[in-house]
Copies of this chain bind each other. A is one copy, B any other.
Amino acid sequence: MHQTKVKVAEDALDANTTIATANRDDFDRAGVAVVNLMSAPGAGKTTLLERALAERGELRVGVLEGDVQGSIDADRISALHIPVVQINTDAGFGGECHLDANMVRSALGDLHLDELELLVVENVGNLVCPAEFSIGENAKAMICSVAEGEDKPLKYPLMFRSCELVVINKTDLLPHLDFDVERLITNIDRVNPEAEVIELSAKTGEGVGRFREWLFRITDRVGDPAGESAAPSPAG
């Protein structure tokens, strides 16, 4: 009796993981690698994607845009002739602050997975909850803007810990800020010593090549069970 009860509780907590695993199976079957891209509002996710995907060669890339409301970012990506689907999370009370596996699953019908090799999911701008919900991705990455301050890894540790890549964006602003990049990197290292760090300016394009290489390399992981599990890793 006791065990059954515990199992029910676990099932409830794991509903997202179950759907994430189903997403991942679909991604693997279709041969598409998926990157979950996260950041605070206004850190530059869409601008970086525009820059990086403008030079995609023959790679067949799709984008899934998550926003509380509107389709501003989807329209920007669509202008690059990239297939894009917008998910709005505002159906609920005041809007969901993250994408979960089921929201992503609801968009898969419009995505034509079989025609893609790489799918980038641009999550809702938020440094807390998006890190808690796996969507079945092969890799999680985040962007931190130098306009945000060096203390963010210490204030939002799960986000920085859950990502294998931390992009430091808006480096073009550094001459105009009291910002110590080394201190930010030290703070990233304190919460996630394994993280790869790329400094760049999506505005000027400096450093974007390194991000593009990282992004396109994720396609090597399709069907690789060792490459980032679909389960969340909220190692508190």
A residues contacting B by CB (< 8 A) are 40-42, 67-70, 72, 90, 93-97, 124-129, 131-132, 145, 147-149, 151-152, 154-158, 170, 172-173, 176-178, 203, 232, 234, 236
Interface residue from B93, B131, B177 paired with A234 (Cβ < 8 Å): B93
Contact B155 A41 (CB under 8 A): yes
Cα distance A190–B172 in the bound complex, in angstroms = 31
Point out the residues of chain B lying under 8 angstroms from A148, CB to CB: 41-42, 147
Contact B96 A128 (CB under 8 A): yes
Interface residue from B70, B97, B125 paired with A154 (Cβ < 8 Å): B70
Cα distance A70–B151 in the bound complex, in angstroms = 10
Point out the residues of chain B lying under 8 angstroms from A68, CB to CB: 128, 155-158
A–B complex contacts, Cβ < 8 Å, 26 sampled: A41-B127, A41-B152, A41-B156, A42-B147, A42-B149, A42-B152, A67-B155, A68-B128, A68-B157, A68-B158, A69-B156, A72-B151, A90-B236, A94-B128, A94-B131, A94-B236, A97-B97, A97-B126, A97-B128, A124-B128, A125-B155, A126-B127, A147-B148, A147-B173, A173-B173, A173-B177
- Chain B residue with Cβ nearest A91: B236
Interface residue from B94, B125, B157 paired with A129 (Cβ < 8 Å): B94
Q: Report the minimum CB–CB distance from A39 to chain B (whole Å).
A: 9
Q: Report the minimum CB–CB distance from A127 to chain B (whole Å).
A: 5
Cα distance A132–B69 in the bound complex, in angstroms = 15
Cα distance A131–B14 in the bound complex, in angstroms = 28
